[in-house]
Structure 1
Amino acid sequence: MDNKMVPANEAFRLLMAELIVDKAIRDYREKELYREIDRALAQGDEAAFLLLTSELRSLQGIA
């Protein structure tokens, strides 16, 4: 069998693993952004707040 050929079930498992890892990374970043936003609010840092909320909206797919 050619090394470049991947059985369908193996390709599906790899795709599912990638989706799970991507979601875990997004979830982690979202939690970090909420913490950083809270910190920016507590410090009265409007520039950081705007930057962080923009990134959060982008991550969440909100325009």
Structure 2
Amino acid sequence: RFMENNVLNEMDRVDPNLRDEMLAELFLEQIMKNFKKSKILEKIDQSLKKKDKKAFLLLTEELKSLS
């Protein structure tokens, strides 16, 4: 939280149009990251149901790289 507050305080000094653009970009990046995570989690569930150890290991590594 401290880092987030610090970033927001620094953004008060940025041009309002640029600030809005930066916030929109950060928001979209977070939405995309959450979407990718949910898709990977679905695939992990499927790999567990199929008892596909190889797919499970690959997907968990992919999930870790997003964190």
Report the TM-score when normalising by structure 2. 0.76
Report the TM-score when normalising by structure 1. 0.81
Q: Give 1:19 deviation, angstroms.
A: 0.3
Q: Give 1:34 deviation, angstroms.
A: 0.7
* Structure number with higher helix proportion: 2
Question: Where does structure 1 differ by over 2 angstroms across 4 or more consecutive aligned residues?
Answer: none
How many pairs align?
Answer: 54
For 2:25, the equivalent position in structure 1 comes to 18
CA distance in 2, matches of 1:21, 1:29: 12
Q: Which has the larger radius of gyration?
A: 1
CA distance in 1, matches of 2:57, 2:28: 28
For 2:16, the equivalent position in structure 1 comes to 9
Question: Could you list the runs of 5+ residues in structure 1 that have no partner in the other structure?
Answer: 1-6
> What amino acid maps onto 2:15 in structure 1?
A
Q: Give 1:18 deviation, angstroms.
A: 0.2
CA distance in 1, matches of 2:58, 2:36: 14
Q: Give 1:51 deviation, angstroms.
A: 0.5
